[in-house]
């Protein structure tokens, strides 16, 4: 969705290899007498409501008459995000959109901005190096401000992967971080009540990924609706909901997780499946780095599973293995197709492989990775 640095910077389009050192040019520079962002700095889909600049003034993060440069950051579909450069300091402001920037008509409650803020506060209590510093929040306006993390120190994991910098240690750290946060939240009745966001999660994940894909594949409808029901009715830990390489910064001390708009007290298997899914898809489109990407997926899952102490590991692992094929198919035929799956042969490979795995689910994530690897090795369309 969006992030305070480069998950909102340019991401791969038709050519999955990014140009070196992508930089977003400033879109607008404010005169010294103004702090409000000019219309040119606002995306055309900008929401009505409280001014982001007025929010900064009200919270004491900007001073009247102070020069400010607002740079809209591109790449997300669910929020407006700006880098704000003020004298001697920079920060980010984020505002949720009611209609997401995708081809399909995809709407979601802007109240998710408050849940994202709350998830980041939770994560900061347990892993302070793994979220940006939080600065201010306006729940009614759906706005919050957070520290800007410079990309030279906090590169986006997705950018690294598409540049061929595939480090298994990063994947291991992501798996350990995710497992630690899930373990810290498991069986917590207060968190379950605070993040009873079933409606948000349905709008942002269950419907656009599982149910929309069921509509596109009526022959798999019963299976996909069954996975949707199981996911929606499992409430075991605090789920981030968008653990994707574009929302992970490779920080100097630890990975930094961003964009928790989908935060929900639900099935932790969703987060692990969602992240491993991205690595599998990248292993398809980046054959030169395939071995390391598949190893990264394996190590991420292994490190995560070592943290599972709130339920039998075998039970969670089985849910991941059965959900993963649905998420693979959703990134081809759901409401949020992966932008780098531009080759029809790759999309068809995913359809065939995911369909077979849905119809004959495997008991473990490791088994699924083995089957996916063999399918890649045996295809003439994936080299």
Q: What confidence score (pLDDT) does residue 112 get?
A: 73
Report the chain's mean pLDDT, rounded to a whole number: 85
More confident residue, 256 or 8: 256
Distance CA 193, CA 334 (A): 30
User: DSSP letter at 307?
Assistant: T
* pLDDT, mean of residues 325-330: 98
**What are the structure tokens assigned to 116, written together?**
């994202």
More confident residue, 149 or 7: 149
pLDDT of 284 over the 90 cut: yes
DSSP element (H, E) containing 89: strand 89-96
pLDDT digits (tens, 9 = 90+) for 216-235: 999 999 999 999 999 999 99
* pLDDT, mean of residues 264-276: 98
pLDDT of 177 over the 60 cut: yes
Distance CA 163, CA 20 (A): 8
More confident residue, 190 or 7: 190
Nearest to 263 by CA among 111, 77, 116, 99: 116
Q: What confidence score (pLDDT) does residue 77 get?
A: 56
Q: What confidence score (pLDDT) does residue 78 get?
A: 65
- Between the alpha carbon of residue 363 and those of residues 179, 315, 319, 366, the distances in Å are 20, 9, 8, 9
pLDDT of 2 over the 60 cut: no
Q: What confidence score (pLDDT) does residue 147 get?
A: 95
**What are the structure tokens assigned to 378, written together?**
């045996």
Using DSSP, state whether 255 is helix, strand or coil: strand
Distance CA 64, CA 373 (A): 58
Compute φ and ψ for 20, nearest 5 degrees: -65, 145
pLDDT of 289 over the 80 cut: yes
pLDDT of 328 over the 80 cut: yes
Question: Which bin fits 370, alpha (ψ -120 to 50), beta or left (φ > 0)?
Answer: alpha
Q: What confidence score (pLDDT) does residue 27 get?
A: 29
Which range (25-29, 218-222, 239-243, 372-376) has the least confidence? Answer: 25-29
Which of the four pLDDT bands, split at 50, 70 and 90, describes residue 113? confident
């Amino acid at each position: 969705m969006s992030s305070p640095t480069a998950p909102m910077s340019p991401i791969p389009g038709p050519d999955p290899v990014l140009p070196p050192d992508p930089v977003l040019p400033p879109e607008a520079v404010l005169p010294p007498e103004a702090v409000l962002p000019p219309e040119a700095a606002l995306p055309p889909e900008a929401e009505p409501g409280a001014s982001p600049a007025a929010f900064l003034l009200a919270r004491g993060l900007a001073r009247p008459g102070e020069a400010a440069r607002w740079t809209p950051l591109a790449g997300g579909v669910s929020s407006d995000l700006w880098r704000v450069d003020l004298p001697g300091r920079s920060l980010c402001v984020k505002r949720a959109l009611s209609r997401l920037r995708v081809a399909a008509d995809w709407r979601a409650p802007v109240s998710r901005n408050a849940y994202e803020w709350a998830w980041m506060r939770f994560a900061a209590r347990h892993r302070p190096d793994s979220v940006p510093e939080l600065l201010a929040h306006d729940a009614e306006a759906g706005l919050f401000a957070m520290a800007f993390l410079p990309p030279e120190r906090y590169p986006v994991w997705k950018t690294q992967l598409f540049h061929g910098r595939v480090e298994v240690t990063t994947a291991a750290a992501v798996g350990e971080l995710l497992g630690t946060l899930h373990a810290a939240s498991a069986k917590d009745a207060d968190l379950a009540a605070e993040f009873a966001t079933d409606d948000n999660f349905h709008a942002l994940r269950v419907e656009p990924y599982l149910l929309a894909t069921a509509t596109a594949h009526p022959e798999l409808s019963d299976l996909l609706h069954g996975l949707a029901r199981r996911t929606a009715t499992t409430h075991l830990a605090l789920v981030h909901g968008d653990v994707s390489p574009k929302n992970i910064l490779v920080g100097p001390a630890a990975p930094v997780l961003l964009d928790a708009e989908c935060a929900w007290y639900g099935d932790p298997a969703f987060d692990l499946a969602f992240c491993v899914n991205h690595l599998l898809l990248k292993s398809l489109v980046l054959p030169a780095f395939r071995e390391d990407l598949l190893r990264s997926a394996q190590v991420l899952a292994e490190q995560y599973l070592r943290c599972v102490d709130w339920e039998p590991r075998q039970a969670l692992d089985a849910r991941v293995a059965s959900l993963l094929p649905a998420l693979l198919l959703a990134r081809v035929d759901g409401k949020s197709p992966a932008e780098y799956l531009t080759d029809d042969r790759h999309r068809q490979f995913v359809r065939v492989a995911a369909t077979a795995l849905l119809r004959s689910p495997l008991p473990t994530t490791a088994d699924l990775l083995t089957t996916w690897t063999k399918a890649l090795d045996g295809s003439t369309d994936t080299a």
